[in-house]
Structure 1
Amino acid sequence: MDWLTSMNAVLDYVEDNITEPIDYDKLAKIVCCSTYEFGRIFSFMAGVSISEYIRRRRLSLAAFDLQDQNLKVIDVAFKYCYESPTSFSRAFKDMHGISPLLARKQGFLKTYPKLSFKITIKGVEEMEFRIVKRDSFKIMGLKGMSTSIAQVGDTLDPLWRNFMDNYDNRLWKNYHAPLWQVGVYWNESKNSATPCIIGAEVRSTDVVEGMDIEEILPSTWAAFTIKGPAGKGADEAYARIRTQWFPTSRYIRNPNMQHLEIYPPGDASLNNYHWEIWMPVLEK
């Protein structure tokens, strides 16, 4: 199944299960990538996060249901997975501008139709990458679960925020290996979050108090250079790697390895800053 077919299959799955809790991990499996990568790809292609898309679709369908005078607001709220009429009314007013009860009387509402993905041929910038082969190496830092799929806008992932606030200075004071600051993301998910360790490459096995250490196995990587402030343009980068680079390259993603986000020394807020995404690859 190609990426376009897979992304449309995701939309079909969402529509078929719109009144049930939707597991983002299942959506990522349809596209054959991690939940972290899927969130990035969907946000770029759809212009909204997957969680926001589902929210808008539910509230659109709820608006139609409210035209049925026999349905209570509480029944509509529970149908579309809201825990209470209060939370439903708040979300409904945020999207439609009026309360559910007033919407039933006036009938003027916003609708958000189901999306579909199609191919558009247009000029694109070339992708700067190199192939890197590395033996095993160790990353020391903070291990946890990345929940970036639920992010909106430029909100920093809570795991990264914890790392920057409490681990950053202690780690860089003692270690300055080739991979200076790196986020390692496993190609698996649990409860819509992706296992991740954020830290630096280390040469010894001595663990700094309060930190974790993980060994990354030998692998071949496609290292993509992203120009601009750290993290900016990530959604587009992940989408282009998945939908443009892999289909036209002689490589496939290695499903058994983690992928990396690498941030070199320098002012990561500047437009001329360069950071990298490393994808583990196998020859087709």
Structure 2
Amino acid sequence: MEWIERLNDAIRFIEDHLTDEIGYQELAKIAGCSAYHFQRMFAYMAGMPLSEYIRRRKMSLAAVDLQSGDEKIIDIALKYGYNSPTAFNRAFQSVHGIAPSLVKNEGASVKSFPPIKFTIMVKGAQEMNYRIEKKEEIRIVGMAKPMYAELEKNFEIVPQMWQEAAVTGLIPKLAGMMNSQPMGILGVCDCNDPEHGRYYIAVATSAEAKEGMEEHVIPSFTWAIFPGEGVCPQAIQELEQRIVTEWLPTSGYEYDNGPDIEVYLEPDPQNSKFEVWIPVVKK
């Protein structure tokens, strides 16, 4: 329950600072994890990205201000952190479907988005297999690209990387270099440092990095490892959601400050076998 309480503390912080710039690092500190893991947990539990939730809450309050006061639109825009009227109009319409200038019209319809409160929900008993393993450092070699601090900006980059890896023949090249555990094609999101986050399509190997490749060493961690299979990416996304929403809150573990690893044991996306590795530490 402590983990859920910390998440709700972060939500209360958001509510207290909706007219301020809300730093993801501050929220993550309250929740006791990295900004990357906080955004990931939030998205799975709330069903929307953190930035979208904050936008909806700000625009919900902005609609109330427009309806009940005499403030100018530009003043309300500045109040909620929008220096450009155009940016405020765009955000407002994306949430409410109408321009802020029309809110005072009789019969104008706007939406209300109340604050989220996280709770543990008991669902039907569906088993989840996992194992806990302590691993020494893992050296990986492969293709890498920088990630953004805001998680949802990376949703386009990562699929493009996998497509590029398939088209250019990188996957079989990497498979030929693989000689260390974990044995599989790896998707490694090392995004805990917001200034230097990177995503790797790689393998664990002692071989030298070839031209156009990067090497990276993952430090020693304790890992919670979950096997899965099915049609990807849906199957792996569903497993990751279950890990965050069902296993983590009651496991006695919490996220450690390390990368997430997807291990593709059978890379056929229509019949994939994989493992999800998350770094954990005992509470």
Structures share a fold, TM > 0.5?
yes
Contact 2:188 2:260 in 1 (8 A): yes
1:138, distance to aligned residue in structure 2 (A): 1.6
Which whole-Å CA distance do the structure 2 matches of 1:132 and 1:264 have between them? 18
Aligned: 1:37 with 2:37:
yes
Partner of 1:125: 126
Normalising by structure 1, we get a TM-score of 0.82
**Counterpart position of 2:184:** 180
The answer on whether the counterparts of 1:187 and 1:256 sit within 8 Å (CA) in structure 2 is no
Structure-2 separation of matches of 1:29 and 1:157:
27
| 1:136 aligned partner | 137
SS of 2:217 mapped into structure 1: strand
Q: Which runs of 5+ in 2 are unaligned?
A: none
**2:205 equivalent among 195, 202, 207:** 202
Question: Secondary structure in 2 aligned to 1:263?
Answer: strand
* In 2, Cα distance between equivalents of 1:182 and 1:148: 21
Q: Quote how far apart the aligned CAs of 1:238 are.
A: 4.1
Answer yes or no: is the 8 Å Cα contact 2:44–2:245 preserved in 1.
Answer: no
Query: Is the 1:188–1:194 Cα contact (8 Å) retained in structure 2?
Result: yes
* Identity across matched positions, percent: 36
**1:275 has 2:277 as partner:** no
CA deviation profile, 1:140-162 (whole Å, cap 9, x unmatched): 1233433485439xx84414523
Q: Secondary structure at the match of 1:174?
A: helix
Instruction: Describe the shift of the 1:77–1:278 C-alpha distance in structure 2 as closer, same or farther (beyond 3 A).
Output: same
Residue correspondence of structure 1 range 105-254 to structure 2 within 5 A = 105-106=105-106, 107-147=108-148, 149-151=150-152, 156-162=155-161, 164-165=163-164, 169-176=168-175, 177=178, 179-186=183-190, 188-190=192-194, 194-204=197-207, 206-232=208-234, 237-238=239-240, 240-242=242-244, 244-246=246-248, 248-249=250-251, 252-253=253-254
**Alignment match, 2:80:** 80
Name the aligned partner's letter for residue 206 of structure 2: R
Return closer, same or farther for 1:38/1:141 CA change in 2, 3 Å cut-off.
Answer: same
The aligned residue for residue 264 of structure 2 is: 263
Alignment-mate amino acid for residue 277 of structure 1: V
Aligned length: 277
Give the 3 Å change call, closer, same or farther, for CA 254–88 of structure 1 in structure 2: closer
**CA distance change for structure 1 residues 201 and 57 in 2, over 3 Å: closer, same or farther?**
same
Kindly report which structure 2 residues correspond to 1:45-124, keeping only aligned pairs within 5 A, or say none.
45-106=45-106, 107-124=108-125
Q: Is the 8 A contact 1:141 1:199 kept in 2?
A: yes
Q: What's the CA shift string for 1:229-284, capped at 9, x where partnerless? A: 334255654454345434554x635735433122233321x2x4232211234566
In structure 1, runs of 5+ residues without a counterpart are: none
Q: How far does residue 75 in structure 1 lie from its aligned partner after superposition?
A: 1.3
Per the alignment, do residues 256 and 118 of structure 1 end up closer, same or farther by CA in structure 2, a change over 3 Å counting?
A: closer
Cα distance per residue 1:80-118 (max 9 Å; x no partner): 122411222122223222211111223532111111122
Counterpart residue type for residue 37 of structure 1:
H
| 3-state DSSP of counterpart to 2:104 | helix
Q: C-alpha displacement at 1:215, in angstroms? A: 1.8
Judging changes above 3 Å, is the alpha-carbon distance between structure 1 residues 282 and 33 closer, same or farther for their aligned structure 2 residues? closer
User: How far is 1:54 from its partner?
Assistant: 0.8
Residue 139 (structure 1) shift = 0.9
Query: Equivalents in 1 of 2:2, 2:37: separation in Å?
Result: 16
1:83 to 1:276, Cα distance in 2 relative to 1, 3 A: farther
The letter for the 1-side match of 2:211 is E
Quote the RMSD (CA, aligned, Å): 3.0
CA distance in 2, matches of 1:50, 1:166: 29
